[in-house]
């Protein structure tokens, strides 16, 4: 099981240090779960330092694809690797919806991050309109195919997919366990890597979602911002 907390644009370095100290104490004897936190760029260094002596990993929320170059405002995956960051999210739906991320740019980022030696959690998921139009399967397949084309077989062990239905993110509306399982099963038929569910995962619904056969973990937004709720989800994962 893998539980990743996506902090989005919350928690600067001070709050990050405090959170990591409490999380470390809270989860020190948790077994059977890989725990990841994904802070904003300015907080990565503190998170890496605070969690260095633990099994927990720190991932970025995004990355450029190039090693270096004239790309003002961008961050290279090689720089992330150098600072001890273990991996990165790519193509979160907020990147797709608000910042022009496409299947093509997502593929470049995934390729660059894997080349740099990072792990990748690549996000896919349909919008509400797409689900209502019966397009969930074709949209998710298209997104997964775009990812598949750039990942060499030897790098597959550093890739996970997060299925995050856009209508369930930050809305309090969660996919039912059956809805999640159906799409996870579809993704795994195309690409045999761990598939995390994301979208309003909370301590109250984690156990049921994580109990589905093809749900290998969760990407948690809102509920990852408090130590108690994030730790409770990690504990639910260790029981699943």
Residues with a known catalytic role: 92, 164
170 is a site residue for ligand PGA (CB under 6 A): yes
- From the CB of 14, what's the least distance to ligand PGA, in Å? 22
- From the CB of 1, what's the least distance to ligand PGA, in Å? 17
Q: By C-beta, is 118 or 220 nearer to ligand PGA?
A: 220
- From the CB of 93, what's the least distance to ligand PGA, in Å? 7
5 is a site residue for ligand PGA (CB under 6 A): no
Q: By C-beta, is 118 or 121 nearer to ligand PGA?
A: 121
Q: By C-beta, is 87 or 198 nearer to ligand PGA?
A: 198
116 to 145: interface string for ligand PGA, x by CB under 6 A: ------------------------------
- Interface residue with ligand PGA, options 111, 164, 181, 216 (CB under 6 A): 164
Q: What is the CA radius of gyration of the chain?
A: 17
Q: What contacts 24+ positions apart, CB below 8 Å, involve 43-48?
A: 43/7, 43/11, 43/12, 43/13, 43/15, 43/16, 44/80, 44/83, 44/85, 45/13, 45/83, 46/13, 46/16, 46/17, 46/20, 47/16, 47/20, 48/83, 48/84, 48/85
Q: By C-beta, is 27 or 124 nearer to ligand PGA?
A: 124
Number of residues this chain uses to bind ligand PGA (CB under 6 A): 13
69 is a site residue for ligand PGA (CB under 6 A): no
189 to 228: interface string for ligand PGA, x by CB under 6 A: ---------xxxx-----------------xxxxx-----
- From the CB of 162, what's the least distance to ligand PGA, in Å? 7
- From the CB of 76, what's the least distance to ligand PGA, in Å? 23
| DSSP state letters, 169-190 | SSSSPPPPHHHHHHHHHHHHHH
| Residue partners of 53: CB distance under 8 A and separation at least 6 | none
Q: By C-beta, is 78 or 94 nearer to ligand PGA?
A: 94
| Residue partners of 98: CB distance under 8 A and separation at least 6 | none
Given the rule CB under 6 A, which residues bind ligand PGA? 6, 164, 169-170, 198-201, 219-223
């Amino acid at each position: 099981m893998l539980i990743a907390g996506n902090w989005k644009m919350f928690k600067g370095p001070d709050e990050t240090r405090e959170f990591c100290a409490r999380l470390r104490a809270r989860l020190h004897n948790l077994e059977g779960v890989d725990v990841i936190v994904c802070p904003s760029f300015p907080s990565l260094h503190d998170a890496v330092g605070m969690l260095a002596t633990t099994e927990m990993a720190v991932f970025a929320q995004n990355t450029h694809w190039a090693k270096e170059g004239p790309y003002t405002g961008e961050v290279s995956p090689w720089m992330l690797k150098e600072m001890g960051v273990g991996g990165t999210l790519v193509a979160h739906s907020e990147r797709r919806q608000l910042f022009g991320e496409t299947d093509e740019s997502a593929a470049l980022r995934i390729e660059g991050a894997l080349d740099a030696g990072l792990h990748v959690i690549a996000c896919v998921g349909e919008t509400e309109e797409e689900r209502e139009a019966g397009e969930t399967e074709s949209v998710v397949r298209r997104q997964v195919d775009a990812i598949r084309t750039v990942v060499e077989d030897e790098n597959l062990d550093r890739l996970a997919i997060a299925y995050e239905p856009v209508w369930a993110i930050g809305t309090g509306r969660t996919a039912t366990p059956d809805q999640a399982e159906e799409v996870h099963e579809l993704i795994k038929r195309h690409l045999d890597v761990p598939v995390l569910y994301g979208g309003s995962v909370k301590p109250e619904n984690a156990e049921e979602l994580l109990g589905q056969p093809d749900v290998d973990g969760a990407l948690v937004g809102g509920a990852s911002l408090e130590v108690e709720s994030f730790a409770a989800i990690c504990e639910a994962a260790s029981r699943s």
